[in-house]
Amino acid sequence: MSQTETVNLTSLNLVRDELVATIEASAGKLEQFVNDRENGELLQACIEGIQQITGTLSLIQLHGADLLAEELLALANEITLGTEDDIEEQLSVLTSSFFILPRYLEYAQQSRRGLPVLLIPYINELRRARGVAPLPESRFFSLGARVDRRPGSRSSTVFGEDLEALSRRLRHMYQVGLVGTLQGKQIKPSLGMMQRAVERLGTIAGDRPQGKLWWVASVAIAVMASADIPLTLSRKMLLGRIDRQIKALQKSGQSALDKEADAELVKELVYIIALSGVATEEVKQVQHAFKYRALPCNAIELQRECDALKGPSASTVHSVAAVLKDELRSTKEILELASQGGTASVSEFEELIATLRKVADILSVVGLTTPSHTLKQEITKVESWRDAGETADAKAMLDVADTLLYIESTVTGLDKLDLSDEKVSEANSIARKEVIASNQLAEAEMVVIQEAEAGLALAKRALNSFAESNYDRGHIKNVAATLNAVRGGMVVLDFRRAAAVVASCAGFIEETLMVNDKPAALQQLLETFADAVISLEYYLDAVKTDKKADDSVLEVAEESLEALGHAVAR
């Protein structure tokens, strides 16, 4: 199974609203059940909602989310009626999962990819609440090759009677480091001590079966330190499993070196190496041996994505953006009145300063520190006008207005989730002109798309009138020109496949419908042509929210036009 997956945005967009509504309804039933533990109908309604959620997620093949829903269903089915205290944890975990699930759907839509490993911690919370063993962090990670022994190594000579004492000493070294790591004390030195212990064990094992384990363990612990990989609970447990392997070696002696290494443990360690994102010679050797694919993000980036899931939802971001827009609108009105009157009273300055401060504070809270700082500089300027009792000149007013335009463009990006989460830091570094230009370009592109939609709607109305008037060509004489205008918009937006489809549509109008002789089965031809137009409308609706939307839906239009004898030029 893949660490990352391509999301079928078309399918997800079709079911998302209904899916989120079902999630919210099921969560509501659970909340009611928490307050009425004897009401089995509420619990059953919640379970039925989860069953529907599970089926939908399985249908659209959003891995990770479907597994979370399955675990959610399994735990919900174990809830019993009554007021027993031992179900408090189960109810709490169920509630948390209901919160995370729609956030992951938002994440998949925004990033246009699935990253199921993000849900492993929440899946494991559900499993622990059921008393079931947790899934490994490498659940969605695959190795490309089986490695039986550590490549290119030889065993060192260790006498049997010495191995027990040596392994005891190395285990003690490892445990000292492990305790420091678990307590969060001197983590890098502690990891260094642990790495040294397993490296020594690797030298002893050499090319024997156990050598593979100690080799990858040594590299994994080394990259944990060098890449500052966050030590989550699952990773701390992984380090504990290595300690148990050393204990087994201490107990069994030489024979333990010839036992096959724990395949799951090896895979988990290789996953940590892959997740580190470092490219040392040792890491390259591991990747060459196990032939795994590079991961889409490193451990730090993965942690940031995990934190984003627990952050504000899209609706919250939209609410913040709406508040900011209202405040900015009020500010611009004050500026406009002041500039038109040529003077501004102290009360007007006070109102302007108060509003600008409120906007700056909100920007700072959502992480847009650079726009906030820029706005605070303008506040200082306005305060100087107020304190001096001076009238601001037109140029000074224009400078403040320019800053507000920059802030408004940034807020628009936040509203569209283009500048949220990990992109906030990028937004803080983008030049003002670039932010404004980017926003204005997006608005211009939206205008082009809307004009294209209007052109297709006009063409449809003309064709309907054409059919209802017993095929009076007067109704469609301008349709080809309208479609060519639509095609021009598609070319401007670089939607080449759509442009080619529209060109063939215009060709059908000019070469088939506008000829002197009425073609046979004209009504059937118009129905087929309508299929092509509907396909185009569907595509334009998709690109309004995602410019990179899958254009495979245009295959319907291409097939329809080919049936009409106007195959789309490729």
DSSP bridge pairs for 6: 113
Percent of the chain with pLDDT over 90: 18
> So what's the pLDDT on residue 205?
86
Judged against a pLDDT cut of 60, whether residue 316 lies above it is answered with no
DSSP 29-42: HHHHHHH-TT-HHH
Q: Left, alpha or beta for 392 (phi > 0: left; psi -120 to 50: alpha)?
A: beta
The secondary structure of 153-222, three-state, reads: CCCCCCCHHHHHHHHHHHHHHHHHHHHHHHCCCCHHHHHHHHHHHHHHHHHHHCCCCCHHHHHHHHHHHH
Residue 550 in this model has a pLDDT that exceeds 80? no
How many other CB atoms sit within 10 Å of the CB of residue 196? 17
Position 255 scores a pLDDT of 83
pLDDT digit string, tens, across residues 442-454? 667 788 888 888 9
φ/ψ of residue 166, rounded to 5: -65, -45
pLDDT at position 264, please? 93
Average pLDDT over residues 299-316: 71
Task: Find all residues with CB under 8 Å of 78, minimum gap 6, and list them.
Answer: 90, 130
Distance CA 460, CA 6 (A): 35
Residue 275 and residue 299 in contact, taking contact as beta carbons nearer than 8 Å:
yes
Per-residue pLDDT at 5:
65
Q: Residue 123's pLDDT band (boundaries 50, 70, 90)?
A: very high
Q: Specify the pLDDT at position 419.
A: 42
pLDDT-derived band at 186, boundaries 50, 70, 90:
confident
One-letter amino acid at 308 equals A
Instruction: Say which residue, 326 or 146, is predicted with more confidence.
Output: 146
Given a cut of 90, whether residue 73 has pLDDT beyond it is yes
Task: Copy the structure tokens of residue 370.
Answer: 């650079």
Shortest CA distance to 106 belongs to which of 319, 417, 422, 412? Answer: 417
Query: Could you tell me the pLDDT band of residue 222, with boundaries at 50, 70 and 90?
Result: very high
- Distances in whole angstroms, Cα of residue 524 to Cα of each of 28, 456, 466, 517, 563: 50, 19, 14, 16, 11
Q: List, in order, residues 6 or more apart from 213 with CB less than 8 Å away.
A: 205, 245, 261, 262, 265, 266, 269
pLDDT of amino acid 336:
65
pLDDT surpasses 90 at 12: no
What mean pLDDT do residues 197-203 have? 88
Q: Calculate the average pLDDT of the chain.
A: 80
Tell me whether residue 48 is exposed, middle or buried, using C-beta atoms within 10 angstroms of its C-beta: 0 to 12, 13 to 18, 19 or more: middle
- Return the DSSP state at 511: I
Assign 320 a pLDDT band (cuts: 50, 70, 90). low
pLDDT per residue as tens digits for the range 480-529: 899 999 898 888 888 888 999 999 999 999 888 887 666 667 877 887 88
What's CA 271's distance to the chain center, in Å? 21
Considering only residues 327 and 459, tell me which one the structure prediction assigns the higher pLDDT.
459
Tokens of 444: 């211009």
- How far, in Å, CA of 271 to CA of 248, rounded? 23
Taking 50 as the threshold, does the pLDDT of residue 160 lie above it? no
Residue 467: count other Cβ atoms within 10 Å of its Cβ. Answer: 16
* Site of tokens 């211009």: 444
pLDDT of 183 above 90: no
Residue 206 has pLDDT above 50, yes or no: yes
Q: Judge whether residue 345 has pLDDT over 80.
A: no
Q: Is 207 exposed, middle or buried (0-12, 13-18, 19+ CB in 10 A)?
A: middle
**pLDDT tens digits, residue range 47-65?**
999 999 998 888 888 888 8
Rg, C-alpha atoms of the chain = 32
How far is 319 from 240, CA to CA, in rounded Å? 45
Looking up tokens 């392994």 gives: 167
Do 140 and 114 touch, CB atoms closer than 8 A? Answer: no
The per-residue b/e assignment along 360-383, b for 16 or more CB within 10 angstroms, e otherwise, is: bebbeebbbebbbebbbebbeebe
Q: What is the pLDDT of residue 520?
A: 64
Name the residue with tokens 């992109």: 423
**What pLDDT does 418 receive?**
45
pLDDT at 311: 57
pLDDT band with cut points at 50, 70 and 90 for residue 376: confident
Backbone angles phi, psi at 7, to 5 degrees: -95, 135
The Cβ of residue 392 has, within 10 Å, a number of other Cβ atoms equal to 22
And the tokens for 200?
């020594």
pLDDT in tens, 261-305: 889 999 999 999 999 989 899 999 999 999 998 888 888 888 888
C-beta of residue 137 within 8 angstroms of C-beta of residue 271: yes
Predicted pLDDT at 415: 54
161 beta partners: none
Name the nearest CA neighbour of 225 among 269, 288, 276, 160.
Answer: 276
Least confident of 31-35, 116-120, 280-284, 430-434: 430-434
In terms of pLDDT, which residue wins out, 392 or 21?
Answer: 21
- CB count in 10 Å sphere of residue 7: 22
- Exposure class string for 68-101: b at 16+ Cβ within 10 A, else e: bbbbbbbbbeebeeeeeeebeebbebbeebbebb
Question: What pLDDT does 414 receive?
Answer: 58
Q: What is the dihedral of CA 317, 323, 329, 332, to 10 degrees?
A: -90
Is the per-residue pLDDT at 394 higher than 70? no
Kindly give, in sequence order, each residue whose CB lies less than 8 Å from that of residue 381, ignoring residues fewer than 6 positions away.
396, 399, 400
395-440 residue pLDDT tens: 676 677 777 777 776 666 655 544 444 444 444 444 444 544 455 5
